[in-house]
Structure 1
Amino acid sequence: MTTYHINLEGDVLKVRFGKPGNGDQVVRDAAVRLDEMVVSGELSGGKLLKIDGPASVAVSYLIAHKISQLYGAIAIFDPKIGKQGYKTYIVAATHTPAYKLGELVETDEPQKIKSAIKVVLCGPPQSGKSCLREGLKQAISNIKGAPYPYVITACPDGEGAWFSDAARRDLDLAKRLKDEYKAKFTPEFAQKAAGWVRSANTPLNIIDVGGQITEENRLIMREATHAVILAGDRAKEEVPRWEEFCRDLNIHIIANLDSDFYGTEDHIVTRSPLLTGSVHSLKRGEDVSSRPMVQALARVLAGLCGSSL
């Protein structure tokens, strides 16, 4: 079984992650598959190739290197933009005046939005939300039949999806890059992030927000459907405020978790109707996807999308 799947459906290259694997293995598997498709003539070139599905930065570079010269233009699906109900692609590479760089390519390919689940990870700062986010992403991706979890980083703190992998290799470098990328949480950013959440129409979306109850977070979170509250030992007294914040926004709370940084094991107290308990040692750079609480939460999120577990 491969770590990365690539298939051509009409003029759309469908891509998705497969079995768990390190980034280098994912790149090698993707390269083998692309070479097979080029040699067989399946990828024979044309005016426009659209790409739909999740890809790491490394795989994105690989795809561009392998096939961009075969097509007049390549466009990438972005679920945050375009007309609701239909898929829209952004032209990311072009060798022809027929398509301009950055041009939006709207299609009549339907994109279901009624069932879109938008789960916000919220709670006090320094609780480990970004670590939980990455663990959830991996855990859900390993559930057979579960939709790919599309992550929206709705806080300009510099800790995007890249941070976890970078921290596992060089924590000091990852922290330095994060500080360089960090930006201010302005009303303009909040408006933009709220638009991302509003337009997101993939089946399962995970939104990572800042750790303060603010008007900016109110603007962003009001577009969510469900919430997971995570709080560390030093901030448990703030949990009732976050619960009230979510209720005011009519967001259904599906999990209320303690972040036990110095703990050695997870504890699941209740599973339904509310997942409660603790998840231990949410440290940057560690793979937490196999933790019992992370696994339990992953199953809850997949279940919201109708996945049979």
Structure 2
Amino acid sequence: MTTYHINLEGDVLKVRFGTPANGDQVIRDAAARLEEMVASGELSGGKLLKIDGPASVAVSYLIAHKISQLYGAIAVFDPKIGRPGYKTFITAVSQTPAYKIGELIETDEPQQKGKPIIKVVLCGPPQSGKSCLREGLKQAISNIEGAPYPYVITACPDGEGAWFSDAARRDLDLARRLKDEYKAKFTAEFAQKAAGWVRSASTPLNIIDVGGRMTEENRVIMREATHAVILAGDEGKEKVPLWEEFCRDLNLVIIANLDSDYQGKEDKIDTHSPLLTGSVHSLKRGEDVSRRPMVQALAQLLVGLCRG
């Protein structure tokens, strides 16, 4: 099985991750597929090519390198912008005056066909391992056949974006230094911007990582979501009832209430329904936690919500 899928549907290049693998293998598979499509004439060029689907930074550079010379312009789908329910693309490459860099191209293609849009917030006290859970959950969902791509929105200016986990696995000290450099203040302006990202998100499954405090800024962001997962470590367990109340006040459906057992040796699942409860152990930065039983259970729960 390939680690990266690329298919042409009309004037839209559909891309998605396949079998989990390191980035170097993903790049080789993507390159081979693109070369095959060009050689066969499937990618023969034209005025405009739209790209829809998740891609790593490396794959994005590869696609631009391989096919940008074939098309007058290339536009990339961005789920954070545009009318709710319809796909909007941003022009990223242009060699023609017909399209300007940064121009938005809205299509009539419905983003959803009767299925719900799930926007689940990972919340709870600070230092509980939410970012580690986020990355493990993303990997676990990607490994479920037929699951929607888990689109992650980092809605806190702590400098720890989706890149952090991969960087930490290679060089934890460097990742921490970069995080400190990227860290910004949590302002009302940032909250409004992040709330807009969540509100406009139109992919089937969206995971929102928020800060660890019950602030007005988090209230603004979280009220745009649909569901909540609460994660708390030993030092924050007494705050869980307050987080539950905070979520209920925002009309969020709490689907999981989890203990973060940093010193633990194994996960513990207490209940699956009506609420997923139990513990996930040792959420350490830089570790792959995607195969932990609790992470797997939460991934299955979220995919099930998307399927209705």
TM-score under structure 1 length normalisation: 0.98
What residue is the counterpart of 2:85 in the other structure? Answer: 85
In the alignment, residue 68 of structure 2 is paired with which amino acid?
S
Deviation at 1:30, TM superposition (A): 0.4
1:280-291 pair list within 5 angstroms: 280-291=281-292
Q: Give 5+ residue unaligned stretches, structure 1.
A: none
1:171-250 pair list within 5 angstroms: 171-250=172-251
What residue is the counterpart of 1:293 in the other structure? Answer: 294
Deviation at 1:9, TM superposition (A): 0.4
In the alignment, residue 71 of structure 1 is paired with which amino acid?
Y
Deviation at 1:84, TM superposition (A): 1.7
What residue is the counterpart of 2:72 in the other structure? Answer: 72
In the alignment, residue 15 of structure 1 is paired with which amino acid?
V
What residue is the counterpart of 1:6 in the other structure? Answer: 6
What residue is the counterpart of 1:103 in the other structure? Answer: 103
In the alignment, residue 147 of structure 1 is paired with which amino acid?
P
Q: Give 5+ residue unaligned stretches, structure 2.
A: none
* Alpha-carbon distance in 2 for matches of 1:144, 1:154: 28
TM-score under structure 2 length normalisation: 0.98
CA RMSD in angstroms comes to 1.0
Deviation at 1:114, TM superposition (A): 6.0
* Alpha-carbon distance in 2 for matches of 1:305, 1:86: 18
* Alpha-carbon distance in 1 for matches of 2:65, 2:115: 37
* Alpha-carbon distance in 1 for matches of 2:85, 2:291: 35
CA contact (8 A) 2:115 2:307 kept: no
Deviation per CA, 1:21-45: give whole Å up to 9, x if none. 0111111110110110111111111
Q: Between the two proteins, what is the percent identity of the paired residues?
A: 85
3-state secondary structure, aligned to 1:298: helix
Matching of residue 15 in structure 1 with residue 15 in structure 2: yes
In the alignment, residue 120 of structure 2 is paired with which amino acid?
V
What residue is the counterpart of 2:305 in the other structure? Answer: 304
* Alpha-carbon distance in 2 for matches of 1:118, 1:18: 23
In the alignment, residue 205 of structure 2 is paired with which amino acid?
L
* Alpha-carbon distance in 2 for matches of 1:204, 1:83: 17
In the alignment, residue 212 of structure 2 is paired with which amino acid?
G
What residue is the counterpart of 1:37 in the other structure? Answer: 37
3-state secondary structure, aligned to 2:238: helix
Matching of residue 27 in structure 1 with residue 31 in structure 2: no
Deviation per CA, 1:43-83: give whole Å up to 9, x if none. 11111110000001111111111111111111000111011
1:247-258 pair list within 5 angstroms: 247-258=248-259
Deviation per CA, 1:218-244: give whole Å up to 9, x if none. 000001111000001011011111000
Moved over 4 A (4+): none
3-state secondary structure, aligned to 1:305: helix
